[in-house]
Structure 1
């Protein structure tokens, strides 16, 4: 049996605004864009590297009012789960994101557990980490 992660939901205040970070700054491609009932689900991935995708949606998309309100509170506090991407050029990716105006949380550093990584916040306050695996000697 083979199992793999297909996609991961990232809750954002405004999916259109989030595109400026995930599509324009990170360089992900829109795979699917679905609207229904005043909500929108935007699936993004990498055309040159098929694999796990992310789905951007607002806190109330597909949820009850109460659940959406609770998720909105967590999003506002900045405590939603982080998203971690990998790259083969952490310094170049970092500069590209910084130039886009993304909020920098951590400049690239070598971590004691191996990777070199950096951290940002997306327009909704979600933490996004970018890492580069250590070079094999």
Structure 2
């Protein structure tokens, strides 16, 4: 029996840099941080949800050097589909995260009654931050 998705992986260029961004700037918490030789399994999660984000460095033992470089280049270009962060108030969250040093690629914009903004993590992974439309809009 399947119980659901537990971890979604994100490729990052530097795990310590990604960890600082997700914990210090976005307010996520560390779930798992273990090493096996040069391999590091690092996950973070939103404090109110069980889903974990795996902050994964491309490379051995999973990838050869050429594949790791190709993956890092793809992520850095912002070519991966964006992740979505749901918020109650997009403009207030935007202001709070900007104060913490998050650089936004798109300021809050109202569309179809919803408000959204965009940012990227230090590795280039794209995020959309969305405040849902109120009922009746």
For Structure 1 versus Structure 2, the TM-score category normalised by the shorter chain is 0.7 to 0.9
Shift of 1:24: 1.0
TM-score by length of 1: 0.84
The number of residues matched between the two structures is: 135
Q: Which residue of 2 aligns with 1:58?
A: 57
- Alignment RMSD (CA, Å): 2.0
CA–CA separation in structure 2 for the residues paired with 1:29 and 1:106: 25
Could you list the per-position Cα deviations for residues 83-126 of structure 1 after superposition, in whole angstroms to 9, with x for gaps in the alignment?
A: 211112222221122112222111111123x5311111111122
SS at match of 2:35: strand
TM-score by length of 2: 0.84
Shift of 1:2: 6.3
Structure 1 unpaired stretches of 5+: none
Shift of 1:20: 2.4
CA–CA separation in structure 2 for the residues paired with 1:96 and 1:38: 36
Shift of 1:57: 1.3
Q: Where in structure 2 are the equivalents of 1:1-137 lying within 5 Å? A: 4-47=4-47, 49-60=48-59, 62-112=62-112, 114-137=113-136
Structure 2 unpaired stretches of 5+: none
